[in-house]
Structure 1
Amino acid sequence: MMQITQTPTLTKAQTAAAKALIKATQAVDGTHRDPYLENDLNFDQTMPAFFLAEAVGQPIGLLTLYADDAPGPGGVVDVSIHVLPEYRRQGVATALWQAARKVLQTAGYQKCEYATEAAFLTSHPQFLEQTQLVKDPASEIGLIAPAGSGKATDDVLTVAPLTSSDIETLLPLYMEAFADESGTDEDQARRYLEVARTDPAVASFVCHYQGQPIGYCAVDLDDYDYFYGLFIAKDYRNQGVGSRFIQLMMGQLSATRHKDFRLDVDSDNLAAYHVYRKAGFKPLTESFYLSAPTGRWALRD
């Protein structure tokens, strides 16, 4: 008999089990994207964000909610679902979603998107028709660089860990860089920076030019080093600063860690894609977001 456990945070044992389940599904599906297994960026950190399905004493399915937007008409929740291949088409994903759907409706969310990858859609050509899910035409490209990449120094730029005194200086630069992101206001930007600064599993870097902070990036330190929240101040773009900043961060991380590097970029952001390729990254996967206007996967009744 299947049992579903829902929780705002995962224990160490649950995290290990979730990672093993994700790797098992990726090995079969030829996928690479990992869901975020922390809730520290969610708007409501008391809301259940992880739903584990178990049968015969082992995890068979996982649903995660990434909900950094506030509830309401503009808030969008990213949903990720993994089910072991031998338990698919047995209602596991549906049961996980029904549990998560109740939580999201209670919290006041009205929109959600399901993350998937091109490899999965290619190997399951009837999936969209069967689920009535609609694929967003835009995608994200996941890129990877090998362990040991990067450089130790730069003629002009330096990098240093983010400090509390940097945050006020970086806030307007952060908000300008992510002005197109839905829901990014000063409070949210400050929360992102503070969470990254204080999280022991995250390395936060500030890029300096002649002593002046001009860029920022956070790196999630796990099975690989994942770059996110990267930006360069507007006046310093299109000058090769971004790729050199990335190479300096990789160089510092390579001195103490021996992990691959990864990041994601919107497929229509050709300027950023060029920066990452110049820094040494190569394409690994392509991700899409699916929405459900109607049907059993829709959030609203």
Structure 2
Amino acid sequence: MQITQTPTLTTAQTAAAKALIKATQAADGTHRDPYLENDFNFDQTMPAFFLAEAAGQLVGLLTLYADDAPGPDGVVDVSIRVLPDYRRQGVATALWQAARKVLQTAGYQKCEYATEAAFLSSHPQFLEQTQLVKDSTSEIGLIAPAGSGKATDDVLTVAPLTSSDIETLLPLYMEAFADESGTDEDQARRYLEVARTDPAVASFVCHYQGQPIGYCAVDLDDYDYFYGLFIAKDYRNQGFGSRFIQLMMGQLSATRHKDFRLDVDSDNPAAYHVYRKAGFKPLTETFYLSAPTGRWALKD
């Protein structure tokens, strides 16, 4: 078995990774896709993808999402996928050992492993065997069918993000995500600018009475994935969030025929209500696991 590590995936590697992900999802009844880009990683030169190959086939994949700076507060999201026929053969361990060295060298001290409720249900001994601990909150993955949305709204309008919008949106963005790490001005500006210039991302601004009051980015791939979504604090609880989402879906439905997806924290019932009102339904539940001790711990 050969382990390859790289900061970015080639076109061929991406295609192989997607095929492996689909195979593991079919076997496990899961739906979550790991992020296969590194645009938002703090250090874009650090290897973020670890590929295990055997007999010329990709049999295992580990991805790192590290948008926090290294240090005691920086947390890295880790996702590991192994083809069913190659499980219990040390593939996941070999991938983690390679990634662990990279993270330790970079100065990271904390990581979390993403898994789904369906996988944990079908592997009831997994947590005990790995000594991993499930976080008390989870992410609910939601889906809306292709063709959803509406073309117009009585008071809201939606337009693509432009460079001139960024300065106005920056304080709103930082206020909306003040409870999350990586929301300083430089990081927020980078998030907005990367989303604006990436051809695989559609970025939308919500306007009310001519003023920008909300923002959302949509990753355009096998489905349209909403992220970074917010409505400014002074305009919440007025139904604008669900209407903003429906307008974005309407615009995307005019040229694309993909399902829509997004994630919401389980301890954010207000956002969950907004998304259900916009037409989304539960698809999956993602848990984040930590390793205080044992072979999956990041610290020695």
Report the TM-score when normalising by structure 1. Answer: 0.99
Residue in 2 that maps onto 1:144: 143
Residue in 2 that maps onto 1:82: 81
Superimposed CA distance per residue, residues 219-256 of structure 1 (whole angstroms, 9 cap, x where no aligned partner): 00000000000000011100000000000000000000
Partner Cα separation in structure 1 for residue 188 and residue 293 of structure 2 = 33
Partner Cα separation in structure 2 for residue 93 and residue 8 of structure 1 = 19
Aligned-partner SS, 2:138: strand
Superimposed CA distance per residue, residues 89-135 of structure 1 (whole angstroms, 9 cap, x where no aligned partner): 00000000000000000000000000000000000000000000000
1:168 aligns with 2:174: no
Partner Cα separation in structure 2 for residue 238 and residue 30 of structure 1 = 35
Partner Cα separation in structure 1 for residue 77 and residue 224 of structure 2 = 21
Superimposed CA distance per residue, residues 128-147 of structure 1 (whole angstroms, 9 cap, x where no aligned partner): 00000000010000000000
Residue in 2 that maps onto 1:250: 249
Q: Paired residues, what number? A: 300
Aligned-partner SS, 2:203: strand
Contact kept in structure 1, 2:182 and 2:188, CA below 8 Å: no
Aligned-partner SS, 2:173: helix
Aligned-partner SS, 1:182: coil
1:182 to partner: Cα distance: 1.9
Partner Cα separation in structure 2 for residue 183 and residue 171 of structure 1 = 13
1:183 to partner: Cα distance: 2.9
Unmatched 5+ residue regions in structure 2?
none
Greater mean deviation of Cα atoms: 179-188 or 15-24? 179-188
Partner Cα separation in structure 2 for residue 66 and residue 182 of structure 1 = 13
Partner Cα separation in structure 1 for residue 174 and residue 277 of structure 2 = 25
Contact kept in structure 2, 1:75 and 1:183, CA below 8 Å: no
Contact kept in structure 2, 1:74 and 1:183, CA below 8 Å: no
Partner Cα separation in structure 1 for residue 94 and residue 228 of structure 2 = 33
Aligned-partner SS, 1:38: coil
Contact kept in structure 1, 2:34 and 2:63, CA below 8 Å: yes
1:17 to partner: Cα distance: 0.2
Contact kept in structure 1, 2:157 and 2:206, CA below 8 Å: yes
Aligned-partner SS, 1:26: helix
Partner Cα separation in structure 2 for residue 183 and residue 203 of structure 1 = 22
Aligned-partner SS, 2:296: coil
Unmatched 5+ residue regions in structure 1?
none
Residue in 1 that maps onto 2:275: 276
Aligned-partner SS, 2:47: coil
1:184 to partner: Cα distance: 1.6
Identical-residue share of aligned pairs (%): 95
Root-mean-square deviation (CA, aligned residues, Å) is 0.4
Aligned-partner SS, 1:70: coil
Aligned-partner SS, 1:138: strand
Contact kept in structure 2, 1:72 and 1:109, CA below 8 Å: yes
Aligned-partner SS, 1:154: coil
Aligned-partner SS, 1:77: strand
Contact kept in structure 1, 2:150 and 2:246, CA below 8 Å: yes
Residue in 2 that maps onto 1:178: 177
Partner Cα separation in structure 2 for residue 165 and residue 73 of structure 1 = 36
Report the TM-score when normalising by structure 2. Answer: 1.00
Superimposed CA distance per residue, residues 38-87 of structure 1 (whole angstroms, 9 cap, x where no aligned partner): 00000000000000000000000000000000000110000000000000
1:295 aligns with 2:273: no
Partner Cα separation in structure 2 for residue 83 and residue 3 of structure 1 = 14
Partner Cα separation in structure 2 for residue 142 and residue 245 of structure 1 = 19
Partner Cα separation in structure 1 for residue 267 and residue 42 of structure 2 = 27
Q: Deviating runs (4+, > 6 A) in structure 1?
A: none
